[in-house]
Amino acid sequence: MEEVKIFGHKNPDTDTIMSSLILEGLEKTLGVYHTKAYKLGNINKETKYALDYFGVKEPELLEEIEEGTSVMMVDHNAFSQSVKGIEKAKIIRVVDHHKISDFETHEPLFYLAMPVGSTATILREMFKVSGFQMDKITAGLMLSAIISDTLLLKSPTCTDKDKEVANELAEIAGVDLNTYGLAMLKAGTDLSDFTPDELINIDSKPFTTNGLKYQVAQVNTASIEDVMKDKEKIESAMNSFMQSNSIDLFVLMITDIIENNSQFIVLGKQEIAEKAFNIKLENNTAFLKGVVSRKKQVVPNIDNAIV
Ligand code: MN
Ligand code: MN
């Protein structure tokens, strides 16, 4: 049987990796497709912590696909955030919780999108509909994905459904939600061995609106101050990234996962960001209280400011 490749977005986060692995497992049980999960880049420390905790191996790296390859996309739909060659793939399924703006297929497909806090939450619903029992490890991976995307249920993207599912999964996985969640998030805040170039690519996504190309990257930390010590080096990494990728605007969110605020560093068309967030940048930077979600609090504002 032909292998169907499952993957999330580039610069993978915990939801992307776990959702790929969970869907692979679900499809194996359903038995229609022979599926295999892949990653489109190196996994981050937070994801590694969660995989190690539940004793699961990370997926293999996928760099490019050939024309006609059968695929399932999770946790993204934008081709610009996907694998090289996605335009000519045969997309069988999409399971996602993002806006749809850069997506087109030639054939009918199964597309499941819900406005919830993580793709894993949608997969939990798929499990329920299928009537399959949830095992401890799958529950642990799902829980990790929800914790990551909702910053331990505190992000404005978190819905009542995510909270309900997370509590239920914590019980099945046999972990204390807050203790495990904080330990997992903290594992992702260890930025000590990243170069500035790597740092701005840990969790970075491209967007295009009205022909304007912008990039929004996010790093999680327990101390904004610590990260800001390297501000100049980070800015120079952002500048070279903008040059080599013809980016008009680059927003870096340095997010305090304890207090749930973000320090922004903004380069390029700064006036768009100032309009979007009603801020005045000083030395390319501003503090945004209560802003933690790229998807809900950053990208829509920038799009509105561009239009
Ligand atoms: Mn994601
Ligand atoms: Mn997600």
Q: Note down the domain range covering 215.
A: 196-305
Among candidate residues 147, 168, 186, the one where a domain is terminated: 186
Same domain, 167 and 124: yes
Distance 111 CA to ligand 1 centre (A): 17
Q: Would you say residue 61 lies in a domain? A: yes
Q: How many domains does one find in the chain?
A: 2
Residue where one domain finishes, among candidates 186, 208, 236:
186
Among candidate residues 138, 159, 186, the one where a domain is terminated:
186
Q: Are 7 and 74 in contact (CB under 8 A)?
A: yes
pLDDT confidence of residue 215: 98
Running DSSP on this structure, what letter comes out for residue 155? S
pLDDT computed for residue 118 by the predictor:
98
Q: What are the residue ranges in the chain where pLDDT is below 70?
A: none
Element holding 28 (H helix, E strand): helix 14-30
Question: Do 194 and 219 meet the contact criterion of CB atoms below 8 Å apart?
Answer: no
CA distance 93 to 6: 9
Same domain, 63 and 133: yes
Distance 282 CA to ligand 1 centre (A): 30
The answer to whether residues 50 and 146 belong to one domain is yes
Q: How far is the CA of 16 from the centre of ligand 2 (A)?
A: 6
Residue 113 C-alpha to ligand 2 middle, in angstroms? 11
* 191 located within any domain: no
What is the SS3 assignment for 264? strand
Element (H, E) at 185: helix 177-187
Show the tokens assigned to 104: 């087109």
Ligand number with the minimum distance to the CA of 146: 2
Does residue 273 share a domain with residue 132?
Answer: no
What's residue 1's pLDDT?
A: 83
Residue 35 lies in a domain: yes
- Predicted confidence at residue 32, as pLDDT, reads 94
